[in-house]
């Protein structure tokens, strides 16, 4: 290790992959067939898919062990429900119900004509009957009851189910006084226009039909029948109706799978089409059509194997996991493009196993870094308290591992098989051997279809593709201009400023209506509910935890103070307060009881509770009050921010109270996500970024570049978070998943380009940037475009989950790509991170110059000035000119190769390292000399296959010849200079 490089891990891994690539190249069929068989066996795990589906919304999209779940457990244990005295206010669940909202087509629904249609709908609902075996079930047999009657809809009771009574009834809001009863109308009438408390008009009416919770199998049958018959045969002139049930949200969420399944086939067709087009060559031999097809197939096999294995071992399959195949496709195709790019840079005349070995040596570290970072990012995501996120991370991380394994086995094996076809110059479609040169007299069409096998005569690799040429000749030099760098900095500043602004606009939490498809009847119901019934929010129960001396004035003063604190909250309606202790005090006042006496308090409590609606609010057992509760009413809770603030302030107020209090409402189960989602997202991002830094430091042979990779991660995360807020995407369990993905993909782009930057041998930072873009710019663009195409079909989905996945993935890929091919290359040029390399290069040149000057050998050698050419196995490459410079040379200039490498052709030996290797047979070195272009040849004795002969500038080499044979034969006279090139 020298200079700024830290390749103690990177180098042995590269060598290891090189050996593995050679092994795969020699045994391609094993590595091609075994993944296919493995995928078939593991894919049989899809048999268990139906059994593994776990789409319970509460279980999957709410925090495990969230505070509200513990609060609900406390309510269940201390305030058990009594279906014979049903109260929707006192439910600790959402309840079992059907509901519909009637909205007037005119400005007022409180008309006789509108109520006739509403009453007709009510009769239709109550007339629904279902069969459970031999048993006939009606609404009356299943309904929740109070005083042996089904729970009525208050508004219909008020008009006595007589539409003509509506316009003559004086409704008051929010309470309607009926004798000694105060009926709360806030959940029944919406869109109110009132004069003081008297209702002048209303726009909407909502009716509920509550069922018992003791036998869910029967009630579910009735609810499903309600969903089937209710929308049908509705000829309504004066109202429009939306409907829902307690099952609807869950049923509609599970139906989302039907929406996404057709998108899989479309996505893979798009991915294969793009891959083929981007790998298409106008050369019937070098064409990569089948390579691209099998690259996409490799990603598909990875999904099949990983999902099948997870289903075999019983991992729950959640709806969010359905996003994973789209993601895996992008990752797999990205790796494919990197491998193809490196393959194209190998010597086309080399053995296929050597080509694959060189491909793996160059590409393995790059795809290993991205795989490690992606997998670890997802495994870190397992720390989240949301089961839906855990399932997604587990399925996706396993799929990425299979994708990586299949890329270096299945896809690598196919590269070898395709390489064998290319080596024999066979047509990509017919596999028949075709001529390499255009036969005279043949048409241009024949040339395009039946002539192939072209390659770069200077480098021995496949011809440079136009896009690679664009990055090297145009984009790279343009990007490294001084004024362009300044423009890039300004562009980055604008990007960062906008992103930070967007981060402050982010909203938290998932709106439950987003779990259904856009055109679902549930969404329409929720929209009406939000528009007309958002004035009054949930009715919150506040529980006094544990035994409390309600007869003690001092303690009651503390409790009253806490109640006042709740009433003073901005979202609490202080006039709507339900309290058993308040009613008990009113009862005691009329009965002239002294409630400051413990005995009197307890002795009269049972009789009070027996004849009131508060029996379910006091856990009074064995003459001891173990706990009790009262209720407060929230108002104007319309947004996720309102829900979050409500939950936090209620819990904070309860904690500050000297009396131990617990607040609860069934909606809190879902609101709990607000308490953990931000902190959990920050935790995951922080831990993952730290892990990414460690991996980058270990595998990218330059510490500063590793820091730039980490910087890129942070920058892309900020950008995605800010712009997703500006694109109306909330921070919820869905977007949190993609932010974890964001980290992995950020590493993908920056790691590829950073590794290419530090590993190339160009002397200046600008040249390194151009070379890195030339090498990997096009594959990175291919990978980015293929990933976007992989998820673009999700933008057409009717489901929020899939659309959100598309939006954030688009932002991740777009910003990641922009960082990879614009920001990072420019920023890397600002730091002379490879100054040590330049010093070493200068030292080598100085050493060579010194050796050249000190050499007294009369031997001459022809050297090409800055030829930039390389010698490959089994091939001799032409130089730009037949004229070479003749200079004094130190003894013997280097040459490495074998007999086949030195076959007939033109060769100029470059001054690189003062040593050479001869293997197996005596090489015949040929070169053109001086002005007459005479070909000089020297034949050496055959050496042992593993013998290396080194000759320094001033040392003879007896191993070369038996009689000090000079390097050049004496059948021509060497000129001291090249007349045609006097400037050399």
Give the count of beta carbons closer than 10 Å to the beta carbon of residue 334. 29
Phi-psi region of 957 (alpha: psi -120 to 50; beta: other; left: phi over 0): beta
**Tokens matching residue 777:** 């710019």
Pairwise CA distance, residues 148 & 152, whole Å: 12
Looking at the DSSP assignment, which residues form a beta bridge with residue 621?
624
DSSP string covering 602-666: HHHHHHHHHTSTTGGGEEEETTEEEEEEEEEEEE---SHHHHHHHHHHHHHHHHHSSS-EEEE-T
Scan for tokens 């042979």, then name that residue. Answer: 701
Instruction: Name the DSSP letter for residue 974.
Output: P
174 cis-preceded (ω within 30 degrees of 0): yes
Contact present, 172 and 196 (Cβ < 8 Å)? no
Structure confidence at residue 444 (pLDDT) = 66
Query: 221-276, pLDDT tens digit by residue?
Result: 999 999 988 877 778 899 999 999 999 988 888 877 777 777 777 887 887 788 88
% of the chain exceeding 90 in pLDDT: 31
- End-to-end CA separation in angstroms for the chain: 36
Structure confidence at residue 508 (pLDDT) = 76
Residues contacting residue 764 through CB under 8 Å, at least 6 positions apart: 838
- Report, as an integer, the average pLDDT of 789-808: 83
Contact present, 358 and 344 (Cβ < 8 Å)? no
Per DSSP, the chain holds a count of helices (H) and strands (E) of 33, 24
Looking at the DSSP assignment, which residues form a beta bridge with residue 53?
317
Pairwise CA distance, residues 335 & 363, whole Å: 9
pLDDT band of residue 741 (cuts 50, 70, 90) is low
Phi-psi region of 350 (alpha: psi -120 to 50; beta: other; left: phi over 0): beta
Q: Rg (Cα) of the chain, in Å, rounded?
A: 39
Residues contacting residue 878 through CB under 8 Å, at least 6 positions apart: 457, 458, 905, 906
| SS3 state of residue 273 | helix
For residue 852, how many C-alpha atoms fall within 13 Å in the half-sphere facing its CB? Answer: 17
Query: 481-525, pLDDT tens digit by residue?
Result: 989 999 999 999 999 999 999 988 887 776 777 778 888 889 999
Contact present, 120 and 127 (Cβ < 8 Å)? no
pLDDT band of residue 125 (cuts 50, 70, 90) is very high
DSSP string covering 684-714: HHHHHHHHHHHHHHHHSS-HHHHHHHHHHHH
- Report, as an integer, the average pLDDT of 160-170: 89
Structure confidence at residue 447 (pLDDT) = 62
149's enclosing H/E stretch is strand 149-150
**Is the pLDDT score of 852 beyond 80?**
no
Pairwise CA distance, residues 292 & 112, whole Å: 69
- Report, as an integer, the average pLDDT of 197-222: 90
- Report, as an integer, the average pLDDT of 813-823: 88
Looking at the DSSP assignment, which residues form a beta bridge with residue 182?
177
The most confident of the ranges 320-334, 534-548, 611-625 is 534-548
Report which of 647, 663, 653 is spatially closest to residue 544, judged by C-alpha positions.
Answer: 663
Report in angstroms the alpha-carbon separations of 826 from 476, 483, 497, 671, 691. 10, 11, 19, 45, 25
720's enclosing H/E stretch is helix 703-726
**Tokens matching residue 546:** 């544990």
- CA angle (70, 73, 79) in 5-degree steps: 135
pLDDT band of residue 706 (cuts 50, 70, 90) is confident
Query: 361-412, pLDDT tens digit by residue?
Result: 888 777 887 788 788 878 887 888 888 888 988 999 999 999 999 999 999 9
Least confident among 311-320, 438-447, 608-617, 734-743: 438-447
Q: What is the mean pLDDT of the chain?
A: 79
DSSP string covering 380-419: HGGGSS-HHHHHHHHHHHHHHHHHHHHIIIIIHHHHHHHH
**Is the pLDDT score of 205 beyond 90?**
yes
> φ and ψ at 290, to 5 degrees?
-70, -35
Contact present, 717 and 743 (Cβ < 8 Å)? yes
Pairwise CA distance, residues 429 & 452, whole Å: 12
More confident: 135 or 939 = 135
Pairwise CA distance, residues 817 & 562, whole Å: 55
DSSP string covering 158-176: HTTT-GGGTTTS--BSSEE
Burial class (CB in 10 A: 0-12, 13-18, 19+), 111: middle
Query: 894-913, pLDDT tens digit by residue?
Result: 444 443 343 433 344 443 33
Query: 166-194, pLDDT tens digit by residue?
Result: 888 888 898 888 766 788 898 999 999 88
pLDDT band of residue 341 (cuts 50, 70, 90) is confident
Scan for tokens 């050419």, then name that residue. Answer: 869
- Report, as an integer, the average pLDDT of 842-854: 46
Pairwise CA distance, residues 919 & 45, whole Å: 53
Structure confidence at residue 781 (pLDDT) = 85
Query: 418-427, pLDDT tens digit by residue?
Result: 999 988 888 8
Pairwise CA distance, residues 796 & 798, whole Å: 7
Report in angstroms the alpha-carbon separations of 695 from 14, 372, 692, 707, 759. 15, 8, 5, 11, 17
Give the count of beta carbons closer than 10 Å to the beta carbon of residue 482. 8
Report the DSSP pairing between strands 193-195 and 896-897: unpaired
């Amino acid at each position: 290790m020298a200079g700024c490089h830290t390749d103690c891990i990177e180098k042995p891994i590269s060598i290891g992959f090189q050996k593995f690539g050679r092994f795969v190249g020699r045994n391609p069929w094993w590595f091609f067939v075994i993944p296919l068989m493995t995928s078939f066996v593991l894919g049989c795990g899809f048999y268990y898919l139906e059994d593994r589906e776990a789409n319970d919304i509460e279980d999957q999209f709410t925090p495990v062990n969230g505070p509200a779940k513990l609060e609900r457990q406390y309510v269940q244990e201390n305030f058990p429900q009594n279906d014979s005295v049903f109260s929707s206010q006192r439910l600790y669940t959402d309840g079992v119900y059907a509901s519909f909202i009637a909205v007037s087509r005119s400005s007022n629904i409180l008309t006789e004509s509108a109520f006739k249609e509403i009453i007709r709908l009510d009769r239709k609902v109550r007339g629904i009957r279902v069969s459970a075996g031999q048993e006939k079930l009606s609404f009356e047999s299943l309904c929740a009851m109070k005083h042996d009657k089904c729970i009525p809809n208050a508004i219909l009771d008020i008009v006595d189910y007589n539409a003509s009574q509506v316009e003559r009834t004086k409704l008051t809001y929010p309470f309607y006084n009926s004798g000694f009863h105060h009926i709360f109308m806030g959940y029944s009438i919406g869109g109110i226009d009132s004069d003081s408390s008297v209702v002048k008009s209303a726009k909407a009416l909502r009716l509920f039909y509550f069922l018992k919770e003791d036998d869910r199998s029967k009630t579910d049958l009735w609810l499903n029948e309600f969903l089937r018959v209710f929308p049908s045969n509705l000829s309504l002139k004066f109202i429009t109706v939306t409907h829902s049930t307690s099952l609807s949200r869950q049923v509609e969420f599970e139906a989302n799978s039907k929406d996404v399944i057709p998108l899989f086939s479309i996505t893979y067709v798009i991915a294969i089409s793009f891959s083929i087009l981007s790998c298409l060559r106008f050369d019937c031999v070098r064409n990569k059509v089948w390579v691209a097809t099998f690259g996409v197939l490799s990603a598909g096999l990875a999904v099949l194997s990983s999902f099948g294995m997870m289903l075999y071992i019983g991992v729950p399959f959640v709806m969010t996991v359905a996003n994973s195949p789209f993601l895996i496709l992008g990752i797999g195709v990205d790796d494919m493009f990197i491998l193809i790019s490196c393959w194209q840079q190998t010597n086309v005349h080399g053995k296929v196993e050597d080509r694959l070995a060189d491909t793996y040596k160059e590409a393995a570290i790059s795809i290993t870094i991205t795989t490690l970072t992606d997998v670890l990012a997802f495994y870190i995501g397992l720390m989240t308290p949301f089961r839906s996120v855990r399932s997604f991370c587990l399925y996706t991380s396993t799929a990425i591992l299979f994708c990586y394994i299949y890329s270096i086995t299945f896809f690598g094996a196919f590269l070898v098989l395709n390489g064998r076809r290319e080596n024999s110059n066979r047509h990509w479609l017919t596999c028949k051997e075709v001529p390499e040169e255009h036969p005279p007299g043949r048409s241009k069409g024949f040339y395009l279809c039946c002539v192939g096998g072209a390659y770069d005569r200077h480098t021995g690799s496949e011809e440079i593709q136009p896009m690679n040429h664009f990055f090297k000749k145009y984009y790279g030099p343009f990007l490294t201009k001084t004024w362009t760098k300044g423009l890039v900095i300004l562009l980055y500043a604008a990007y960062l400023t906008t992103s930070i602004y967007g981060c402050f606009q982010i909203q938290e939490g998932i709106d439950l209506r987003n779990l259904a498809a856009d055109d679902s009847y549930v969404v329409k119901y929720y929209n009406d509910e939000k528009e007309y019934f958002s004035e009054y929010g949930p009715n919150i129960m506040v529980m006094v935890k544990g035994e409390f001396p309600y007869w003690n004035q001092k303690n009651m003063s503390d409790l009253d103070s806490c109640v006042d604190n709740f009433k003073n909250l901005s979202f609490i309606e202080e006039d709507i307060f339900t309290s058993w202790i308040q009613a008990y005090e009113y009862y005691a006042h009329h009965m002239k009881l002294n409630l400051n006496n413990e005995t009197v308090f307890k002795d009269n409590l049972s009789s009070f509770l027996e004849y009131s609606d508060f029996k379910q609010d006091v856990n009074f057992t064995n003459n001891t009050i173990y706990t009790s509760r009262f209720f407060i009413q929230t108002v104007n809770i319309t947004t996720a921010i309102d829900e979050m603030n409500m939950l936090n302030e209620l819990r904070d107020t309860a904690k500050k109270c000297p009396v131990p209090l617990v607040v609860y409402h069934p909606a809190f189960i879902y609101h709990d996500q607000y308490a953990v989602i931000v902190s959990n997202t920050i935790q995951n991002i922080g831990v993952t970024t730290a892990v990414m830094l460690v991996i980058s430091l270990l595998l990218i042979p330059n510490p500063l570049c590793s820091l730039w990779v980490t910087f890129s991660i942070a920058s892309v995360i900020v950008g995605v978070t800010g712009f997703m807020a500006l694109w109306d995407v909330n921070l919820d369990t869905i977007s949190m998943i993609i932010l974890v993905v964001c980290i992995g993909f950020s590493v993908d782009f920056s790691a590829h380009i950073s590794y290419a930057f530090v590993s190339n041998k160009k002397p200046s930072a600008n040249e390194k940037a151009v070379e890195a873009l030339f090498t990997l710019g096009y594959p990175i663009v291919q990978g980015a475009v293929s990933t976007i195409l992989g998820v673009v079909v999700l933008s057409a989905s009717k489901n929020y989950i899939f659309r959100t996945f598309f939006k954030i993935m688009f932002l991740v890929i777009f910003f990641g790509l922009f960082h990879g091919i614009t920001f990072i290359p420019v920023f890397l040029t600002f730091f002379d991170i490879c100054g040590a390399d330049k010093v070493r290069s200068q030292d080598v040149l100085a050493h060579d110059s010194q050796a050249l000057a000190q050499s007294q050998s009369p031997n001459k050698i022809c050297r090409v000035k800055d030829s930039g050419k390389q010698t490959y196995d089994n091939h001799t490459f032409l130089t730009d000119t037949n004229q070479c410079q003749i200079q004094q040379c130190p003894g013997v200039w280097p040459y490495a190769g074998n007999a086949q490498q030195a076959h007939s052709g033109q060769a100029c030996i470059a001054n690189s390292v003062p040593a050479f290797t001869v293997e197996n047979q005596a090489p015949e070195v040929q070169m053109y000399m001086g002005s007459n272009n005479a070909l000089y040849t020297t034949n050496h004795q055959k050496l042992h296959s593993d013998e290396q002969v080194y000759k320094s500038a001033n040392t003879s080499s007896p191993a070369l010849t038996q009689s000090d044979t000079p390097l050049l034969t004496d059948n021509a006279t060497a000129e001291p200079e090249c007349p045609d090139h006097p400037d050399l």
